[in-house]
Homo-oligomer: A and B are copies of this chain.
Amino acid sequence: MNSHPGPLEPKADKASVRRHNLSLVLRAVHDAGEITRAAVAVRVGLTRAAVSSLVEQLIDGGFLTESGKTFSGQAGRPGTALRVATTGVAGLGVEVNIDYVSVCVVDLAGTDRLRLTEHGDNRGAAPAEVLAGAAAVAARALGEAAAQDLHPVGAQLALPGLVSGGTVRQAPNLGWNRIAAEGLFARSLTALRTGGRPLPVGSDNEANAAALAELWFGDAGEARSFLFLSGEIGVGGALVLDGRLLRGAHGFAGEIGHVVVDENGPECRCGARGCLEQYAGQAALLRGAGLPEDAGVRAVDELARRAAAGDARAATAAARAGHMLGLVLSGAVNLVDPDAVVLGGVFRPLLPWLAPAADAELTRRVVSGLWTPGGGRLRAASPEGDAARGAAGIIAREILADPAAYAGIRAT
């Protein structure tokens, strides 16, 4: 008798059982960092013989390596430690944002192994042109990665807008509407590469990708439920609940930048009035500090420098944005009750001036009374909370979930 039969579960055949168990073992090693075969067997509930056979196949496929170290763990006699491979199959992440493109290659462990970033305003150019430019950076990254024996098996785009089914439904700050981003990028990339099979391309919202990077690689630690804000020209958001990204019924959850602050406020690029990003986005911050609002992300560092040097106008601009963030965040916290709110993007360098004002509103308005100023629930994103790395990590996770699908990839 099966102990936990699910309703209508199809009988698994032998091949699919093995395929499943390959992933189980690979993920056990990934999660442990370094672990013996014997300890893997205990973790996953398979026999040592079964684990040894699966490990052999994973080593042959280039997914696992033996570290050479031997040590005795909890599970019996000493064994050779296993780690996930640091060469071979990899993930490529491509963040296309309003005023930069950032490309990143991660290995199977999720480590950021290569990074190329190009600044430049993407608002003037046609979508196809922007995506062709991003593909050029990606092609360069693929070349450099190959020199390190890293071979991305897929590319994941991170885009500042509503992304669904490979298409950007709307990216107000880029002025994009119904742009088939995956297809445009994939065609450009294929044209730039000589030989090899075309790289599969996926896509996601940039705040989603950044929130996943925070979850997987950052120091979110126990905060398994958090609201992530990505301050850029737009204000992106993502909700991670119990360690899982909330995508929403149509894939469009997290759009906190378009929560209303004042229904009669300034017009937003989305067509409505008084959205949060009109008060706390990069342009509002720079304008408030007397800096040119189109000066790009590096002007935010100047804003932070000025605030640190005691420039009242800069500090007040950040505090004002923090107050507006606090108003909207208090509503979001009342609605979803996350452990933490994590501020990334341009909010990170400005946190010393943003946070007190935001914290004050949250303390005043979170009805549970469980928000206290400086109580640690409002945090800066870790440097790992980065959309390109999160996007690349999505590919790495796909490999971990089914290594057998990628077993032949290095042979091509």
* Interchain CB contact under 8 A, B8 and A335: no
**Is A72 interfacial (CB-CB < 8 Å)?**
no
**Is A364 interfacial (CB-CB < 8 Å)?**
yes
| Cα(A256)–Cα(B335), bound, Å | 5
* Interchain CB contact under 8 A, A334 and B258: yes
B-binding residues in A (CB < 8 A):
1-9, 12, 17, 20-21, 24, 28, 42-46, 50, 162, 169-170, 172, 225, 237, 239, 241, 246-256, 258-260, 263, 270-272, 275, 327-328, 330-332, 334-339, 364-365, 367-370
B263, B327, B337: the one contacting A263 at CB < 8 Å is: B327
Given contacts A170-B367, A334-B256, A369-B169, contact A9 B263 (CB under 8 A): no
Q: What are 29 sample pairs from A and B whose C-beta atoms fall under 8 A apart? A: A2-B45, A4-B12, A6-B45, A7-B45, A170-B369, A172-B367, A239-B336, A241-B246, A248-B337, A249-B339, A251-B337, A252-B367, A252-B370, A253-B337, A254-B335, A255-B337, A256-B335, A258-B365, A259-B330, A259-B334, A259-B335, A260-B365, A263-B327, A271-B364, A272-B365, A275-B365, A331-B331, A335-B335, A336-B336
B9, B247, B258, B367: the one contacting A270 at CB < 8 Å is: B367
Q: What residues of chain B lie closer than 8 Å to A367, measured between beta carbons?
A: 162, 170, 172, 252, 255, 258, 270, 272
Determine the residue in chain B with the shortest Cβ distance to A256.
B335
B8, B172, B271: the one contacting A45 at CB < 8 Å is: B8
| Cα(A293)–Cα(B21), bound, Å | 64
* Interchain CB contact under 8 A, B7 and A43: yes
Q: What residues of chain B lie closer than 8 Å to A225, measured between beta carbons?
A: 248-249
* Interchain CB contact under 8 A, B5 and A45: yes
6 closest pairs, A vs B, by CB?
A248-B337, A259-B331, A5-B45, A253-B337, A255-B334, A3-B12
B2, B241, B331: the one contacting A260 at CB < 8 Å is: B331
| Cα(A42)–Cα(B254), bound, Å | 41
| Cα(A21)–Cα(B330), bound, Å | 44
Determine the residue in chain B with the shortest Cβ distance to A227.
B335
* Interchain CB contact under 8 A, B335 and A237: yes
* Interchain CB contact under 8 A, A260 and B170: no
Give the distance to chain B from A200, nearest Cβ to Cβ, in Å. 26
Give the distance to chain B from A399, nearest Cβ to Cβ, in Å. 19
| Cα(A62)–Cα(B367), bound, Å | 44
Determine the residue in chain B with the shortest Cβ distance to A162.
B368
Q: What residues of chain B lie closer than 8 Å to A239, measured between beta carbons?
A: 335-336
B24, B250, B339: the one contacting A5 at CB < 8 Å is: B24
| Cα(A319)–Cα(B344), bound, Å | 39
Q: What residues of chain B lie closer than 8 Å to A21, measured between beta carbons?
A: 1, 5
Q: What residues of chain B lie closer than 8 Å to A334, measured between beta carbons?
A: 252, 255-256, 258-259
Given A255-B335, A260-B327, 11 new contacts (CB under 8 A): A1-B17, A3-B20, A5-B46, A9-B45, A254-B337, A258-B365, A263-B327, A328-B331, A331-B331, A332-B335, A335-B336
* Interchain CB contact under 8 A, B44 and A7: yes
Give the distance to chain B from A278, nearest Cβ to Cβ, in Å. 13
Give the distance to chain B from A20, nearest Cβ to Cβ, in Å. 7
Q: What residues of chain B lie closer than 8 Å to A237, measured between beta carbons?
A: 335
Give the distance to chain B from A378, nearest Cβ to Cβ, in Å. 14
Given contacts A8-B45, A12-B3, contact A338 B249 (CB under 8 A): yes
